[in-house]
Amino acid sequence: MIIACPACNGLNRLPQDKPALDAHCGKCKQSLFRGEPLELTSINFSAHANKAELPLVVDFWASWCGPCQSFAPVFSQAARELEPQFRFGKINTEQQQSLAAQFSIRSIPTLMLFKQGKVVAQQAGALPKQAFYQWLSNYK
């Protein structure tokens, strides 16, 4: 499986027989899994969404959005508990307007699940933890 490094965005091949949580980047030597959402930008988005083979869960959010703020701890907890099954990333729609426009984000928070560059699921609005985990379980 191809994994993008959260530190340098370099692509790494992760052998099936190697424990994912012990994996480190061949380029920068940082851990490939940190248990926290990545801050995605127009610079690193493609490496994680298009080139990596790990499913990417993206939270499109804004700092002024109350539901976004209340959902943030649930999203962070999911990153701690569900990596390396999924990679979790957040896109600040105020700072990354081109990415928000590219995916026609009209309301926030909006959740999208990417697999090898394709949006395979989308959810508008914040979800309680149990509902969020259930939504994700459909796409393992």
Q: What are the pLDDT digits (tens) for 4-42?
A: 999 999 999 998 888 888 899 999 999 999 999 999 999
- Of the residues 5, 8, 28, 68, only one is catalytic, namely 68
Rg (CA), the chain: 14
Residue 122 burial (10 A CB sphere; 0-12, 13-18, 19+): middle
**Closest among 75, 71, 85, 73 to 33, alpha carbons compared:** 85
Q: Are strands 87-92 and 56-61 parallel, antiparallel or unpaired?
A: parallel
- Of the residues 5, 8, 25, 65, only one is catalytic, namely 65
Could you give the CA distance from residue 18 to residue 78 in angstroms, rounded to a whole number? 23
Specify the pTM. 0.94
pLDDT digits (tens, 9 = 90+) for 75-134: 999 999 999 999 999 999 999 999 999 999 999 999 999 998 999 999 999 999 999 999
Active site residue 68: yes
Confidence of residue 137 (pLDDT cuts 50, 70, 90): very high
Active site residue 5: no
- What is the percent of the chain with per-residue pLDDT over 70, rounded to a whole number? 100
